[in-house]
Amino acid sequence: MSKTFPLLDGTVELFDRDEITRRRTLPYDVLLNQSDHLMVKLAHARRIVAPDGRVEENEALDGPEHRLTTHESETLEYMQLALNWSWLKAWTLDAPFPAKWEDLLDLPRRVVDALHAAVQAHANGRLPDVAPDFEPSAETLEDRDSFTGGSDASKTSSKAPAKRRSSTRKPSAS
């Protein structure tokens, strides 16, 4: 069930998590996949410094400081726009409804910021999880019927004793 939020001089209707289609998340997924190296850096950085001087710190991390390049900063902004667009169902604003995520680049910054705040409120800070991946999640690991559930969740188990396998690999000559 979608939800409507006040947004500046109008309202915005956001998809429910179950309504978001693959077509809607694809732009975000593509940008995310193209930015693996950046995501790895940011996942460990204790302090992130943007080109405009803004600083974000995560005291729980002990990694090095990472200074974003202009390209990296733009990439993160594009990812945020694509993510916000994936939730967007309708609005009553006096502006054309964005047919694609790039159309959000033509809106005033205050509209984009308000949209982001509405998406964050609706999603409770969680990203939409609709990409067809098969990585185990907390939910599937606890679900004994899930194919990604823990090995102890198997309905049938082998009674064969575990064996250690000997390697047939030849040692390196160097």
- Provide the pLDDT for residue 131: 39
- Provide the pLDDT for residue 169: 55
What pLDDT, in 10s, does the model give residues 87-99?
Answer: 999 999 989 999 9
Torsion of Cα atoms, 77 then 79 then 84 then 89, to 10°: 130
What pLDDT, in 10s, does the model give residues 56-86?
Answer: 998 888 888 999 999 999 999 999 999 999 9
- Provide the pLDDT for residue 5: 86
141: left (phi over 0), alpha (psi -120 to 50) or beta: alpha
Residue 130: closest CA among 97, 76, 83, 89:
83
- Provide the pLDDT for residue 144: 55
Distance between first and last Cα of the chain = 64
Q: To the nearest whole number, what is the mean pLDDT of the chain?
A: 80
- The arithmetic mean of pLDDT across residues 35-63, rounded, is 90
